[in-house]
Chains A and B, each alone.
Chain A
Amino acid sequence: MSKVSKEIKVMTAQEAVKKFVFDGAVIGMGGQNVSRCAVALTHEIIRQGKKDLTLTGCNLSIHMDLMVGAGLVKKCESGLGGLGRFGATFQFKRAIEEKRMETEDFDHLTMVSRFLAGEMGIPFIPVRGLLGSDILNYQAASTKKKFETISNPWNQQEKVVLVPAMQPDVSIVHVQKADEIGNVLIQGIASHEPELIRASRATIVSCEEIVPIKFFRSHSDSTTIPYHYVDAVVHQQYGAYPTATYGYYSFDADHINYYQQCARVGGEEYKRYMNEYIYECETFDDFLEKCGGIKKVTHLEREMLRLM
């Protein structure tokens, strides 16, 4: 029997993380930069102290940096770690420079191609990039075989790089809408997430809204992901805060800057941030209250409305 289930999958973040995230897991990370990072699920993973994690995705952002800062990550395998105009992901940067964490660097297209191979159940896939770069000259100690360069069997003159399929153990993704059995709608840019979700052995989605299944059955051409790939549905409004969810709320530049300041300084200041905003919060709603609650999120909702 396949793992596909049409059962009701709604649960709390606490239950979902307990059920699907385990020590040593390879975690697929949704979101990009300041957009739709699964921050609520990240906080829960940190509270439950799941360790020896490998994080994979394209642009690993603040959610990755939080887990690295909490000391839970042994390896990142991605296209990039950073927060764009908000600066480096400082905990990530420091962990690499102090050799406390491994990285396996690729580029975004290679990563999404690896998820594409994973979602189609094929073992590897060619890409045209990487040739001539030092990305091919270095690999992490724990990586068995990073790539293979071959001639195209149909055109010997042409070289391509083969990269292995990636199937994360569990992915965490924040989306706009889902129903109780796990059909998903992502609005706005979808980044690498359609491939990531379908490639993963399990997926936890947190969502702004739970909609009835008829929402999908009557707009079936706009379903991003059917329920077959989703294992847990967590209803968490503002679940990407302080990053944005298109159509719902903008990112909170003030909080991101504050986090960046703590992450950059590190030490006691960073510990204080982690204690106050994660460990001392029982749920993500407690965190939202500490960040300004209804006033804050209403403001960010208005910012998003102005954009639309």
Chain B
Amino acid sequence: MEKQYSENYIREELMVIEASRFIKSTDTVILGTGLPMVAAIFAQKTHAPDVNFVVESGSIDPILPFAPLTVADPIIGNKAVKTGSLREVLGCLVQRGLVDIGFLGGAEIDRFGNINSTYIGDPRSPKVRFPGSGGANCIASCVPKIMIISLHEKRRFPARVQFITSPGYIDGPDGRKKAGLRMAKPDIIVITDLCVMQINPGTGMLELAKLMPEVTRDDVYNNTGFEPRQRKESGLVELPTEGELAILRNEVDPNHIYLKEPSGG
């Protein structure tokens, strides 16, 4: 059957749908607050029905009818096989090496995929304080596939983060190995409203893998503090289908907590 693509979407919606496409039914995914939960639940409702979620607050394999407000939302334990503790999830699953994908976000993401969610300015005399690591440092240190969803703005994508809360490749291809991280070469995928960037383990740097429809490479470069090398095989992000948008809007985020609908749409 031919897919019925839709042009009636906003880029944030496609960003979430594109992120979900990296999740397979066989994956164990640790959810993070915000758009990652929207993407993961969307995956579960579409192409990855058997995907297995865990949540840092202690929920193990819940079935989430819609995207909860936070990782501590009372719905987070819905129909879980176990509601346990933080240690059981971050320790006995993530650190233990049993989780495939971790979703992260942050105030700054740099060309090595490092994430800052703690400070802007000198930490001894900070200009701005953000919430801090939460479970992110442990997740970034231990999972084989790190996914980051972020709006694409220049200040969010500097060449170098001001504080490494969660390590990407730190300073180059062997940065993680030198630091002593056992997971030395994780995949890192950054999905924004302009493009998809993916780490090249050989250089330890993010590369431009896909552009959103109607976005040019220069649009990306003008909104990024570094110039990610464009992959030869890079292409366009596949448009969403009518059906995908309906599931996203009506089932995953029915109260439009996370995503607005297109105006006039």
Contact = CB atoms under 8 A, between A and B. Distances in A.
Contacts of B124: 138
Interface stretch (A14-22, A82-90, A291-299): A82-90
Contacts of A190: 58, 83-86
Contacts of A78: 132
B71 A84 contact: yes
If over half of A's interface residues share one DSSP class (helix, strand or loop), that class is named, otherwise mixed; here it is: mixed
Contacts of A217: none
Contacts of A251: 74
Interface in B131-148: 131-138, 141-142
Contacts of A113: 87, 91
Interface in A101-120: 103, 105-110, 112-113, 116
A300 to B, nearest CB: 10
A54 to B, nearest CB: 16
B210 interface: no
Contact of B131 (A82, A116, A138, A194): A82
B131 A80 contact: yes
Interface string A135-148: 10010000000000
Contact of B182 (A103, A128, A133): A128
Interface string B114-131: 000010000111111111
Contacts of A108: 56, 86, 90, 133-135, 138
> Which of B57, B72, B84, B130 has the largest number of chain A CB atoms within 10 A?
B72
A218 B90 CA distance: 31
A304 interface: yes
Given A133-B137, A133-B164, A158-B182, A97 B87 contact: no
Given A33-B72, A149-B180, A307-B74, A191 B95 contact: no
B75 interface: yes
B72 A135 contact: no
Q: How large is the interface on A (under 10, 10 to 19, 20 to 34, 35 or more residues)?
A: 35 or more
B226 interface: no
B85 A192 contact: yes
A130 B142 CA distance: 10
A131 B73 CA distance: 30
Interface stretch (B8-16, B43-51, B165-173, B194-202): B165-173
Contacts of A82: 131-132, 134
B137 A135 contact: yes
B165 A112 contact: no
Contacts of B90: 108-109, 112
Contacts of A89: 131
A109 B138 contact: yes
Nearest to B169: A132
A144 B137 CA distance: 23
B34 interface: yes
> Which of A35, A96, A304 has the largest number of chain B CB atoms within 10 A?
A35
A194 B85 contact: yes
A89 B130 CA distance: 9
If over half of B's interface residues share one DSSP class (helix, strand or loop), that class is named, otherwise mixed; here it is: loop
A97 B83 CA distance: 37
A67 to B, nearest CB: 17
Given A112-B87, A191-B58, A129 B141 contact: yes
Interface in A191-212: 191-195
Nearest to A89: B131
B74 A131 contact: no
B22 interface: no
Contact of A133 (B57, B95, B167): B167
Interface in B143-199: 163-167, 170, 175-176, 178-182
A192 B86 contact: yes
A131 B87 contact: no
Given A78-B132, A132-B175, A109 B77 contact: no
Given A96-B126, A107-B138, A108-B138, A32 B87 contact: no
Contacts of B59: 189
A226 to B, nearest CB: 16
Interface string A61-83: 00000000000000000111110
A107 B133 contact: yes
A34 interface: yes
Contacts of A159: 179-180
B257 interface: yes
B141 to A, nearest CB: 4
B135 A84 contact: no
A127 interface: yes
Given A32-B57, A112-B87, A134-B123, A129 B137 contact: yes
A35 B133 contact: no
11 contacts: A59-B72, A89-B131, A97-B128, A107-B132, A107-B137, A108-B90, A131-B167, A160-B180, A191-B86, A244-B73, A244-B74
Interface of B: 33-34, 55-59, 69-78, 83-87, 90-91, 94-95, 118, 123-138, 141-142, 163-167, 170, 175-176, 178-182, 257
Q: Which 10 A-B pairs have the closest CB atoms?
A: A159-B180, A132-B179, A82-B131, A33-B72, A107-B137, A84-B70, A107-B133, A35-B72, A189-B58, A109-B138
Given A108-B56, A188-B77, 5 more contacts: A85-B69, A109-B95, A133-B164, A149-B180, A190-B85
